[in-house]
Amino acid sequence: MTIDTWLQAVIADAERRGLPELKPILETLARATKALRAADFNDRADGQPSAISPQP
Amino acid sequence: MMTIEEFGRALRARKTTSEQIANECLRRIEADNPRLNAFILVMADEARAQARELDRELAAGKDRGPLHGVPISIKDLFDIRGTATTAASRVREGHVADRDATAIARLRQAGAVFIGKTNLHEFAFGTTNEDSAFGPARNPIDPARSPGGSSGGSAASLAAGMALATMGTCTGGSIRIPAAACGTVGLKPTLGEIPTDGIVPLSRTMDHAGPLTQTVGDAALVYEALIGEPRKTPPAPVPVRGLRFGVPRKYFCDLLDEEVRARFEEALERLRAAGVTLDDIEIRNAADLGTIYLHLVLADAAAYHAATLESMPEKYQKNVRLRLEMGRYVLAEDYVRALAGREILRREVDAALGAHDALILPTLPIPAPLIGADTVQIAGKAEPVRNVMLRLTQLFNVTGHPAIALPSGRTNAGLPCSVQLVGNRMATDALLRVALACEPHISRP
């Protein structure tokens, strides 16, 4: 699941659950998750060195 | 207020009693707790009874060691048999602990007198102590300011002389941050060294228990009781001349209040003058620290709270509830990435310590913030208070290395600054010996 897809899904879920105020902190979490996925310690199944390119 | 070591000498010289020191702490609580809100529960009757019994024991020749008769306040996250463990939350209404947490049982065995249970950020999930079902604890040095958190009531109780030591817990800095904000010593031992059973968890993979005290020597005495190996005197300091410290400037000194930076550099200069060699070092993946910590703590906390978030969400403080809800959306694959990053950071800190006796860095990038502040100005830029407060401490919760915060002077406004020393894993005793040696040089004369 890409982070953008994940973010759309979790914001929709939070709104369905009556928690629209979660949206800004979920957007913050999405930025943190992008950074985590871009970190150079991540390894890959194709054997290529580390990091996934940061998404815009 | 006298230190544990001073009290012990006076007690054994028959110049004071446990009951007298307990009454002095209770007097200060009665006078100052209404404005500081440090305590959730004051255990006056139980403390007096405990103290009298310990005085009888000593008179009969039974000496339990350095903590005999010492009044200690306890963060209200630890179970003490027969009392509620509120975690500063309405979620815990009706709870009564049926036995002591192991850490409490060890302190009880060592002769500690439990003076009361202290306020905290709800479920220890915050750095300011503002989100508590019992209202915010306040900093004794300036009650308009936070005492830090999450063990804010603990630090406030110690700094205000309401106890000779206090027990905190630490998942991202919750012992060292309030120690820094209130001008005390705070020790986070190695991960896993002190049992955490009977303590309400925040993150079962990063929670630590440890003491806040007035001196490093006192921290050593409480630490040794907590690991079940009480001794009569603190360990001896190592010779300060010849020590070699690593200074991780990149990332850790990038974002500092100017007065905090000045006090840190002055402490380094005093250490250098005393014969300590200081080497600049780098924790290569330090910039990834915040996101690694976030994914671990959010998911760990969400797992513990999932059932009550569904059944009684209205009982949480709003900000704490939202952060816990955020944790329920962390994907398993990202949690695993954070675990991988954690191992990388652990190796990097191990490597940095390989050629050094300790790492040295500031504890808290800012002086104690004003209660209610969401942001703080650093170098002309508004920074989020929570992120800034965790920035220098959370690494060693992620990696499990022992760390100790020591006061290092004050700002022009009289607010405490602090320096932390970090040692090798499973070598907390060695770190304490180094800290004992450095304490006179780090603490501003």
pLDDT at B234: 84
A14: which chain B residues are within 8 Å (Cβ-Cβ)? 325
Q: Per-residue pLDDT for B87 more than 90?
A: yes
pLDDT at A56: 36
pLDDT band at B445 (very low <50, low <70, confident <90, very high): low
Instruction: List the single residue in B with minimal CA-CA distance to A29.
Output: B326
pLDDT at B377: 95
Contact A22 B285 (CB under 8 A): no
A43: which chain B residues are within 8 Å (Cβ-Cβ)? 340
Q: Per-residue pLDDT for A52 more than 80?
A: no
Nearest to B142 by CA among B411, B418, B444: B411
Q: Which one is predicted more confidently, B53 or B379?
A: B53
Whole-angstrom distance, CA of residue B214 vs CA of residue B28: 17
Contact B25, B162 (CB under 8 A): yes
Q: Per-residue pLDDT for B444 more than 70?
A: no
Q: Per-residue pLDDT for B229 more than 90?
A: no
A36: which chain B residues are within 8 Å (Cβ-Cβ)? 288, 291-292, 295, 334, 337-338, 341
Contact B290 A39 (CB under 8 A): no
Contact A33 B340 (CB under 8 A): no
The owner of tokens 């065995």 is B109
Instruction: List the single residue in A with minimal CA-CA distance to B323.
Output: A25
pLDDT, tens only, B115-160: 999 999 999 999 999 999 999 999 999 999 999 999 999 999 999 9
pTM of the model: 0.97
Helices B18-36 and B152-159: crossing angle, nearest 10°? Answer: 120
Q: Per-residue pLDDT for B295 more than 50?
A: yes
Q: How far is CA B336 from CA A37, B341, B396, B423, in A?
A: 11, 9, 19, 27
13-32 of A, contacting B, C-beta below 8 A: 13-14, 19, 21-22, 25-26, 29, 32
Report the percent of chain B where pLDDT is more than 90. 97
A32: which chain B residues are within 8 Å (Cβ-Cβ)? 290-291, 294-295
Phi, psi of B73 (to 5 degrees): -95, 155
The owner of tokens 């060195």 is A49
pLDDT at B231: 80
Alpha-carbon distance B299 to nearest alpha carbon in chain A (angstroms): 12
Alpha-carbon distance A26 to nearest alpha carbon in chain B (angstroms): 6
Whole-angstrom distance, CA of residue B21 vs CA of residue A55: 61
pLDDT, tens only, B161-205: 999 999 999 999 999 999 999 999 999 999 999 999 999 999 999
Q: Answer positive or negative: Cα dihedral of B193, B197, B200, B204.
A: positive
Smallest Cβ–Cβ distance between A37 and the set B323, B330, B337 belongs to: B337
Smallest Cβ–Cβ distance between A41 and the set B285, B294, B295 belongs to: B285
pLDDT at B233: 84
ipTM metric:
0.91
pLDDT band at A54 (very low <50, low <70, confident <90, very high): very low
Nearest to B200 by CA among B85, B118, B81, B323: B85
A37: which chain B residues are within 8 Å (Cβ-Cβ)? 334, 337
Whole-angstrom distance, CA of residue B83 vs CA of residue B99: 9
Contact B344 A43 (CB under 8 A): no
| DSSP H or E segment with residue B422 | strand B416-422
pLDDT at A55: 40
Structure tokens belonging to residue A21:
């105020």
Smallest Cβ–Cβ distance between B331 and the set A1, A39, A43 belongs to: A1
Sort strands B208-213 and B185-188 into parallel, antiparallel or unpaired.
antiparallel
Contact B326 A29 (CB under 8 A): yes
pLDDT at A53: 45
Contact B337 A36 (CB under 8 A): yes
287-306 of B, contacting A, C-beta below 8 A: 288, 290-292, 294-295, 298
A39: which chain B residues are within 8 Å (Cβ-Cβ)? 285, 288, 291-292, 337, 341
Before B150, cis peptide (omega within 30)?
A: yes
Q: Answer positive or negative: Cα dihedral of B305, B308, B312, B315.
A: negative
Contact B158, B212 (CB under 8 A): yes
The owner of tokens 């406030």 is B156
Q: What is the CA radius of gyration of chain B?
A: 20
The owner of tokens 């200074």 is B247
pLDDT, tens only, B317-355: 999 999 999 999 999 999 999 999 999 999 999 999 999
Three-class SS of residue A36?
helix
Residues of B labelled catalytic: 75, 150, 174
Q: Is the Cβ of A45 closer than 8 Å to some Cβ of chain B? A: no
Smallest Cβ–Cβ distance between B326 and the set A6, A26, A40 belongs to: A26
Q: Per-residue pLDDT for B217 more than 70?
A: yes
Q: How far is CA B64 from CA B100, B103, B232, B235, B301, in A?
A: 19, 16, 9, 18, 37
Q: CA torsion angle for B341, B344, B350, B353 (degrees, to 10)?
A: -90
Instruction: List the single residue in B with minimal CA-CA distance to A28.
Output: B326
Alpha-helix residue ranges (DSSP H) falling in B13-164: 18-36, 44-59, 102-109, 152-159
Whole-angstrom distance, CA of residue B150 vs CA of residue B138: 12
Q: Per-residue pLDDT for B398 more than 80?
A: yes
Q: CA torsion angle for B392, B156, B184, B389 (degrees, to 10)?
A: 10
